Amino acid sequence: MNRKAPLKDEDPEIYEQIQNELKRRREGLELIPSENLTSKAVLEALGSILTDKYSEGFPGRRYYGGNEFIDKIEMLAIKRAMKAFKVPFANVQAYSGSPANQAVAFAVLKPGETLMGPDLPDGGHLTHGWKANFSGIYYKSVPYHCRADGYIDLEEARKLALEHKPKLIWTGFTAYSREFPFEEMAEIADEVGAYLAADIAHIAGLVVAGVHKSPAPYAHIITTTTHKTLRGPRGAIIMATDKGLSKEPELGNKIDKAIIPGLQGGPHNHQTAAIAVALHEAMQPEFREYAQQIVKNCKALAQALMENGLKIVSGGTDNHLMLIDLTPHGKGNGVFAQEALDAAGITVNKNTIPQEPSSPFYPSGIRLGTATVTTQGMKEREMKQIAELMAAVIDETRQYQLPEKKEERTAYIANFKKEIQANPRIMGTRQRVKELCSGFELY
């Protein structure tokens, strides 16, 4: 082993797979809305020597010595988060979005107490109370839903809150294409005396840029991941608002204690530094233009997809993502669309739709967004091309239907994958995708 050797020489197998991933991205369209392309500066911080340092505790209150520069880095990240989101408190140590949401529950709930959140099949997150997640196991979970038109059923949410009196209410979605109704959810939470936590993991970059309403005036707590539209590393931030500290002056301390010693050990200092860099970038004028273009592109893509005969949940989008409802092709057909598009070099993810007729394992929709392709420099003209390419691929999946018998599905899908890889129209589309992507750089 040569500790100073570059990765290419020290571990050529891993190096090869990284290069393969780079090639895949260069030749394909990355449309998963929870992904983006970080800057070289973010990557440089993320791959720095900071990964070596242990720093349990918080700035000025560490269990280890040698943290004077780590303290300055974390304080920069905290100050930038507070400035970017206009809040008085921020914790930047959560390892990722799910641990951040777990820390919120740990801070304000006791085991067995009631929380309310958007149901997973309707676009919510696992940590908002899903039955198989800690949030649905250790707490009493009351899910609310979307209406058939794809919009949040606020009337149902209010009725459930009045009936069950949750102590914590989550707002924020992982698959919701309309503006989040922070004000309306705040009215519901205030009426029953609950904490309102806004999970803005998907729209954080849009909020910082001012192209989506901020939850800061309405929620008590805000959580977000730092990748997705914020275009940073994979990490998270937990924030308390003025309203939150007014409700509970010790809320910030409770959140800090939930992180350590409650749930975590040493923070990932390289991640903290990269978050600080991403926040710095997000507060530049160019980032606002970028966020505005994300939304323009998403609206253009949704419109073009509908013009090509595809059904969009709620009939459009207000943010960076959308859901394609494939029930006109058959229930559970999201898996076929995802695999076929992947074969054509277009990356999306299968996803449930409101009032899903199948299951999360074989959902009837696909989810896609425009953050990554916008980072690459694509605009409305390219969105029209992408819609045409996607429609052509999805059209090739119409003949496939998910078997009713579960025991038949594995073999059926395996055969579908084999056939789709040999489909001449799919392969022709893949070449067109490569040609489109060749005009746009990743870095």
Catalytic positions, please? 54, 56, 199, 225, 228, 234
Q: In terms of Cα–Cα distance, which of 19, 39, 44 is closest to 290?
A: 39
Distance CA 168, CA 102 (A): 12
Quickly list H helices, 251-358.
251-257, 269-282, 285-307, 334-343
Strand 221-225 to strand 195-199: parallel, antiparallel, or no bridges (unpaired)? parallel
Question: Which residues neighbour 32 within 8 Å (Cβ) at sequence distance 6 or greater?
Answer: 347, 348, 349, 367, 368, 369, 372
Amino acid identity, position 40: K
DSSP string for 142-176: EEE-B-TTSSB-HHHHHHHHHHH--SEEEE--SS-
* Tokens representing residue 339 in the block: 């695999």
* Burial environment of residue 5 by CB neighbours within 10 A (0 to 12, 13 to 18, 19 or more): exposed
